[in-house]
Amino acid sequence: MAALVIGLGAASLLLLTYTYLSRLSSILKSTPEAVLKVSPKRWTKEELRQAYQRLEKNLITTKSYADRIPPKLDRRYIITGGSGLVGGYIVLQLLERGQSPESIRIVEFRPLNRADMLSGPASTVDFVKADISSAESTNNAFEKSWPSSVAHLPLTVFHTAAVIVPSDRSKLVYGLCESVNVRGTRNVLDAARKAGADVLISTSSGGVSIRPIELWISPVELLLSPKNKLPEIKNYLQVMDEKDFFEPPRKHEEHFANYAVSKARAERIVCGANSPELRTGSIRPANGVYGQPGDNTLGGSLAMSDCPTWCAHIIQPFVHGINVAIAHLDYEAVLAANPKAPQAGRPFMITDPNPPISYIDMYLAIETLATTPFKLIRLPPLPMWFLSYIVEWYSLLPVKYPFLRRILPELKGDIKHMKPGLFSVTTHMVATNENASRSVDEGGLGFRGVVTTLEGMVQEIVEWNVEHKGEKKAKKFQTSISFAEEIAKAAEAAGVMEKMGK
């Protein structure tokens, strides 16, 4: 009798657990109605092929949107991260509008590696290698003398340099983000002041506004709700905007990852430094930025012949580096013209001039157009979610217990990014640049994007195919995430991490 009761109890517990998990799983595979209303249309092979043919003949260059670049100013420019995804487009747009190469200085940690900057005027721009996490290195780069033809001109600084560490959220490993993104920003701000800059615009991140998604729903609530009306996971759908900036700063745990914590702090440092002598502000690109083979969004997927994904159904507001760069120049025009501009001292969110797309749109574009092999491997989200907690726990072990460092093998490849923060940054999102799009008279930047996500992504595939002509496999491009790992390794070797971690 007792055995029967226990047996029945165990069986119903198993059944409830199974029902709980399968319901949770179906929520995670769903796309909320609200976001489908904003983004109802999926890309088709037909329109992708047409766009490809059009762009193959007529690539989008700074010339094609020259009328949308704000007019030339009589100024000098320092661009930190000036050969990166956003910084590089800023340099190219400055040159297009007629700023002379000698009035521009790139301050960078990496060697110049963008194909579109290796020839022409961009290749003659002064390139100063610097590590912004060091005040001395930053000051040296800013204090270097200028050609006499431009030395007297007012100075604008575009601060785009940062490290991207996508999914770490533990305070124990916050050091790298703090040293480059926060300390580095302070160093750039100080150096800009010393060099006499009067406008400084930094690249922030839409990630600042993202909240961690909260997977766990109370079993009672989930099990009692009707099957066709399951409850929502908290923060499963988010709006990216600037609202949070006008509220008290969030706590560490209220951000999706350490990267966002550091970008939020850096943004507040930059905006808080605004004064009539040095006007400042930030641009927040939506999620994520693409537009070069080294980007993490499209470039990262292009480089994989087997592409595992659990987020094919996820809707996200991507933004092309070209659009982000233009927003920086729009902002500069406002702040350079008016020392008391009410636009100063705040962030502006920027996204592509079209509704957000779905990851499946991007994957279809790669499958349809890329000449390199690409196979989508669909994974169920829920088990990946469980795995992410294990990966996080495992990677923190050697941090918590240093003696384990020599014993535990390090995780290799993409699996090491599979931490819970990744699920928050790849959840359904909609972004708005309604404030940036307002006219300057109405307190906006007069921003209007020039590249749609479809054109921008297709163009990147055109360029990818040109780079891979006659090759069967993807060349390894360095994405900004792998770059961040390299910096972390270098810093570790120098023993800096130990100090920073404390």
Comparing CB distances to ligand NAG, the nearer of 323 and 351 is 351
Comparing CB distances to ligand NAG, the nearer of 342 and 373 is 342
| 342 makes contact with ligand NAG (CB under 6 A) | no
Please state, in angstroms and rounded to a whole number, the distance separating the CA atoms of residues 358 and 316: 6
* Contact status, residue 79 vs residue 90, Cβ threshold 8 Å: yes
Please state, in angstroms and rounded to a whole number, the distance separating the CA atoms of residues 166 and 236: 18
Q: How far is the CB of 249 from ligand NAG (least distance, A)?
A: 15
Joined tokens for residue 241: 């905007």
Q: Is the peptide bond before 288 cis (omega within 30 degrees of 0)?
A: yes
Site string for ligand NAG, 389-428 (x = CB under 6 A): ----------------------------------------
Q: How far is the CB of 319 from ligand NAG (least distance, A)?
A: 15
Listed in sequence order, the residues at least 6 apart from 360 whose beta carbon sits closer than 8 Å to its beta carbon are: 42, 312, 313
Stretch that binds ligand NAG, among 36-44, 150-158, 172-180, 432-440 (CB under 6 A): 432-440
Q: How far is the CB of 432 from ligand NAG (least distance, A)?
A: 5
The residue type of 342 is: P
Joined tokens for residue 396: 């923190």
Q: How far is the CB of 40 from ligand NAG (least distance, A)?
A: 22
Could you tell me which of 74, 78, 117 has the C-alpha nearest to residue 99?
74
Kindly tell me which residue out of 280, 343, 395, 435 binds ligand NAG, with binding defined by CB under 6 A.
435
Stretch that binds ligand NAG, among 51-59, 82-90, 260-268, 429-437 (CB under 6 A): 429-437
Comparing CB distances to ligand NAG, the nearer of 344 and 364 is 344
Tally: H helices and E strands in the chain: 18, 15
Comparing CB distances to ligand NAG, the nearer of 348 and 359 is 348
447 Cα distance to chain centroid: 19
Q: How far is the CB of 157 from ligand NAG (least distance, A)?
A: 24
Kindly tell me which residue out of 432, 452, 465, 478 binds ligand NAG, with binding defined by CB under 6 A.
432
Which helix (H) or strand (E) segment holds residue 221: the answer is helix 219-224
What are the start-end ranges of the E strands in 103-230? 104-108, 126-129, 155-159, 199-203
Please state, in angstroms and rounded to a whole number, the distance separating the CA atoms of residues 223 and 216: 13
Comparing CB distances to ligand NAG, the nearer of 81 and 317 is 317
Could you tell me which of 286, 214, 288, 238 has the C-alpha nearest to residue 427?
238
| Biggest distance spanned by C-alpha atoms of the chain | 97
The residue type of 216 is: W
How many CB atoms sit inside 10 A of residue 63's CB? 9
Q: How far is the CB of 269 from ligand NAG (least distance, A)?
A: 19
Comparing CB distances to ligand NAG, the nearer of 216 and 246 is 246
Residue whose structure tokens are 């661009």:
79
Q: How far is the CB of 48 from ligand NAG (least distance, A)?
A: 31
Residues in binding contact with ligand NAG, number by CB under 6 A: 7
Please state, in angstroms and rounded to a whole number, the distance separating the CA atoms of residues 60 and 424: 33
Comparing CB distances to ligand NAG, the nearer of 288 and 345 is 345
Cβ-closest residue to ligand NAG? 241
Site string for ligand NAG, 305-324 (x = CB under 6 A): --------------------
Joined tokens for residue 185: 């920003």
Q: How far is the CB of 435 from ligand NAG (least distance, A)?
A: 4
Q: How far is the CB of 240 from ligand NAG (least distance, A)?
A: 9
Site string for ligand NAG, 241-260 (x = CB under 6 A): xxx--x--------------
Stretch that binds ligand NAG, among 218-226, 238-246, 384-392, 464-472 (CB under 6 A): 238-246
Comparing CB distances to ligand NAG, the nearer of 90 and 210 is 210
CA-CA-CA-CA dihedral for 483, 186, 97, 116, to nearest 10: -10
Q: How far is the CB of 84 from ligand NAG (least distance, A)?
A: 26
| 168 makes contact with ligand NAG (CB under 6 A) | no
Q: How far is the CB of 80 from ligand NAG (least distance, A)?
A: 26
Stretch that binds ligand NAG, among 46-54, 94-102, 403-411, 430-438 (CB under 6 A): 430-438
The residue type of 407 is: I
| 434 makes contact with ligand NAG (CB under 6 A) | yes
Q: How far is the CB of 244 from ligand NAG (least distance, A)?
A: 9
What are the start-end ranges of the E strands in 58-148? 76-80, 104-108, 126-129
Q: What separation in angstroms does the CA of 11 have from each of 16, 23, 226, 360?
A: 9, 18, 22, 39
Please state, in angstroms and rounded to a whole number, the distance separating the CA atoms of residues 177 and 488: 10
Contact residues for ligand NAG, defined by CB under 6 A: 241-243, 246, 432, 434-435
